[in-house]
């Protein structure tokens, strides 16, 4: 049987790889929203792969969190850095769920208008960004180094997002949910 630390490394790589792939796909979709990229084939592939990667990353996230908690020194959540990681990963998971829910409740029509396309790609990009920030914080915890050390983030205190960041995330989540609900309502009106 493998140790929880080894299992954490495996699941973390699955999560990070999935969310990074999703981030690339949602970036391509964002570029298409602004007519920078116009390939129909890339559009279809980015849509399918981006949402599948978010879903796969979401499935692996609980395993990464639980194995990370059990493999941390003391096996509890007493470290401010671990609390920050849980906060960031749950934010990423919530945004990913919103993006997947909106895409599969509305369908391909979510990419039909610029507003819904920008909202959907922003939600996917934000989910990917928060999960990669979580992974970077994990590098700081285990190796005392991170790719984003240049930003001098306060890893030693519990990171409470400023009101402006919380407001932006809340607006994106509400917009995505509203689009999904409107899509379901319009879809049910067409079927009747």
pLDDT at 31 (0 to 100): 93
Is residue 90 very low, low, confident or very high in pLDDT (cuts 50, 70, 90)?
Answer: confident
CA–CA gap between residue 125 and residue 74 (Å, rounded): 34
The whole domain housing 21 covers: 4-158
Q: Are residues 93 and 146 in the same domain?
A: yes
pLDDT at 182 (0 to 100): 76
Number of domains in the chain: 2
Beta-carbon contacts of residue 151 (< 8 Å; ≥ 6 apart): none
pLDDT at 161 (0 to 100): 63
Q: Are residues 188 and 134 in the same domain?
A: no
Task: Find out whether 37 and 31 touch, Cβ atoms under 8 Å.
Answer: yes
> What token pair was written down for 141?
């915890």
Q: Are residues 82 and 171 in the same domain?
A: no
From the list 139, 117, 103, 121, the residue with the least C-alpha distance to 16 is 139
Q: Are residues 112 and 181 in the same domain?
A: no
Q: Are residues 77 and 93 in the same domain?
A: yes
* 18 vs 182, more confident: 18
Q: Are residues 134 and 172 in the same domain?
A: no
* pLDDT above 60 (res 76): no
């Amino acid at each position: 049987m493998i140790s929880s630390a080894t299992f954490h490394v495996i699941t973390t790589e699955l999560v990070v790889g999935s969310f990074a792939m999703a981030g690339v796909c949602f970036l391509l979709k964002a570029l298409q929203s602004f007519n920078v990229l116009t390939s129909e084939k890339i559009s279809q592939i980015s849509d399918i792969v981006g949402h599948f990667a978010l879903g796969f990353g979401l499935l692996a996230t609980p395993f990464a969190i639980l194995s990370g908690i059990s493999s941390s020194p003391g096996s509890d959540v007493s470290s401010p850095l671990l609390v920050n990681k849980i906060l960031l990963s749950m934010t990423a998971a919530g945004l990913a769920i919103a993006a997947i829910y909106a895409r599969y409740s509305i369908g391909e029509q979510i990419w039909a208008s610029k507003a819904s396309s920008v909202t959907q790609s922003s939600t996917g990009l934000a989910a990917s960004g928060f999960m990669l920030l979580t992974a970077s914080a994990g590098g700081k915890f285990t190796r005392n180094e991170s790719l984003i050390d240049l930003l001098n983030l306060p890893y030693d205190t519990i990171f409470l997002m400023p009101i402006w960041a919380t407001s932006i995330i809340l607006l994106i989540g509400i917009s995505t949910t509203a689009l999904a609900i409107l899509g379901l309502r319009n879809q049910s009106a067409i079927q009747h």
